[in-house]
Structure 1
Amino acid sequence: MVNRKDLNPDASPQAAFGARLRSSREAHRWTQEGLSERMGVSSGHISGVETTRKTPSLHFAKAADSAFGLLGTDATFERQWHEMQHGSLLEGYPEYVGYQNRAAEIRLFETGVIPGLLQTREYASVLADAAVQRGDVTPEQATERVNVQIEQQATLARTPPPLIFAVLDESCIRNPIGGAEVMDRQLSRLLEFAGQASTFLQIAPYSMAERKPFRRLVYLLTMPDRSLMSYVESQTQGHLDRELSSVLPLVRNYHQLQIGAASQADSIAMIEDLRKGTLR
């Protein structure tokens, strides 16, 4: 083959993505033009991704999964794309998202910021822009992150929808992300969420103090077969866990959290008072 560029998958995450794309294509005995027809992107773009001259997008990764029959598996190009975008900070998160999209029940706890499933695009964009300013991500990566986050919210619209339990630390609704107008629209979004038939919202008030079992993000999934898994994040990495010995204590603590948190009615009242400026 003329002008065939050797690929080194160890050179970078992008190079690993490109090398895998080429090896998968060649395993199917497809030319770049043949894959182009199956993915709906130009053969030149495929060549660019394989040789790292072009950076794959989320749309590109999903199109590759469709072409290679990887949708719904644990070895998708989409998962590799997420890992390439977010690195070790969100290790395990792409896999978590795959399970979240099939879960029967989703339990969320957050502190400081509204969980991604409940964020408005404006709120998510403010957080992404801040990551750009810190130098954590590029503007392109920030845009992709927001798009991914909003796409994940399709989980809420499934038929039948999953049961979603969200307990938010009081700091989530008081932290003025993006200023008053952004927060007002975000709080309105929380009220809409609480009004759905398959969703439950509670605020864990500051007064819970030491009785609050979690000090960081905790997500819990119950799958259709009733198996359980957890996803937690520290400042430097995320971890998906399916071992019952470590997941069950988190489930028990989550139930204790729900018992101590404000009821949904009282939580809604807190949010409405905060929007009016009457909550102290």
Structure 2
Amino acid sequence: MSTSRGPSVRQRRLAAELRRLRERKGLTGDEVAERLAWSTAKVSRIENARTGAKISDVRRLLDLYEIDGARHDDLVSLAHDAAERGWWEDYRDLPSPLADFIALESEATAVREWGSTVIPGLLQTESYARHVIGGWSALATLPPQELERRVEVRIRRQELLRRANPLELSVVLDEAVLRRRIGDRKVMREQLEHLRRMAELPGVNVQILPLDGAHSVLAETFILLEFSPVHDIVFPDIVHTESLTISHFADETVTYMYRLAYTSLAGQALNAADSRRRIIEVRDAW
């Protein structure tokens, strides 16, 4: 199993800004390499976030590009942030696509998710999550210890909703998800009660798309990750989708299409108050 890690959002922001500053200065990668006595390959790796940029290297680049004052300090701070390890990197057995997704999710400002199969991971109980991941384990033959670590990781991800500056989470759920049994009836009752409570958090909005309502958009589960500018450096929104065998990050050129799909689904779903009543109704049925 590959455990290689893709660049974090902070690393990508820093790389893009360093490339922009070089181009604004009118320098080529070869010229930068010559002036700093580096290889051209090193400049390319830094500007494409294929390697973590050392703080000393960032300072040398900023000096070359004649960046000083507050802008200099901002970029050095970003370089320090980019060098920090994420908590998920302690779980070395995580598949690379999952680790990459967690890294992106951890730095997102807002998440908009359409759920057509199961309760979103950020809103799952431990028991529900164990049954969901256990289902995948039946196909991927995860050892029991690794299964428990995956459950632990899923629960740790939920800290995003309770941190000082919580993630803004908006979810549209197909009503079929509430009625699809995962585990036994007790697991489902606990999960729907948990979903009801989570929907009352200030930054969480849950809407239910009724089975008997209009379904103009028939789409697989997708997650739209949105990022606010950091030190005036913009990072594009990203869409994540999954199938049985593939975890896929959609090209930013199609992100707008998914945003329109989410807006359409949210417009056809019950409002937040009616959605909570529907969750309670199905919870009691379980």
TM-score (norm 2): 0.65
Residues 14-63 of structure 1: CA deviation (Å, up to 9, x unaligned): 7x89xxxxxxxxxxxxxxxxxxxxxxxxxxxxxxxxxxxxxxxxxxxxxx
Pick from 98, 115, 122 the counterpart of residue 120 of structure 2: 115
- Alignment pair present for 1:149 and 2:154: yes
Change (3 A) 1:71 1:176: farther
- Give every structure 1 segment of 4 or more consecutive aligned residues whose post-TM-superposition deviation is greater than 4 Å: 69-82
Residues 160-191 of structure 1: CA deviation (Å, up to 9, x unaligned): 21211011111211111111111111001111
Alignment of 1:260-271 (within 5 A): 260-271=268-279
Aligned partners of 2:168 and 2:262: how far apart in 1?
A: 15
- Code of the residue aligned with 2:146 in structure 1: it is Q
Q: CA contact under 8 A between 1:200 and 1:264: conserved in structure 2? A: yes
Deviation, structure 1 residue 133: 3.9
**Structure 2 unaligned blocks of 5 or more:** 6-78
Aligned partners of 1:253 and 1:220: how far apart in 2?
A: 11
In the alignment, what sits opposite 1:219?
223
SS in 2 for 1:152: helix
Deviation, structure 1 residue 85: 3.6
Change (3 A) 1:253 1:133: closer
- Code of the residue aligned with 2:118 in structure 1: it is V
In the alignment, what sits opposite 1:259?
267
TM-score (norm 1): 0.66
Pick from 228, 253, 262 the counterpart of residue 237 of structure 2: 228
Q: CA contact under 8 A between 1:204 and 1:261: conserved in structure 2? A: yes
Q: CA contact under 8 A between 2:173 and 2:209: conserved in structure 1? A: yes
The count of residues paired between Structure 1 and Structure 2 equals 208
Percent of pairs with identical residues: 25
Alignment of 1:33-72 (within 5 A): 72=82
Change (3 A) 1:273 1:236: same
Q: CA contact under 8 A between 2:225 and 2:239: conserved in structure 1? A: yes
In the alignment, what sits opposite 2:282?
274
Q: CA contact under 8 A between 1:166 and 1:200: conserved in structure 2? A: yes
Deviation, structure 1 residue 131: 3.4
**Structure 1 unaligned blocks of 5 or more:** 1-11, 18-68
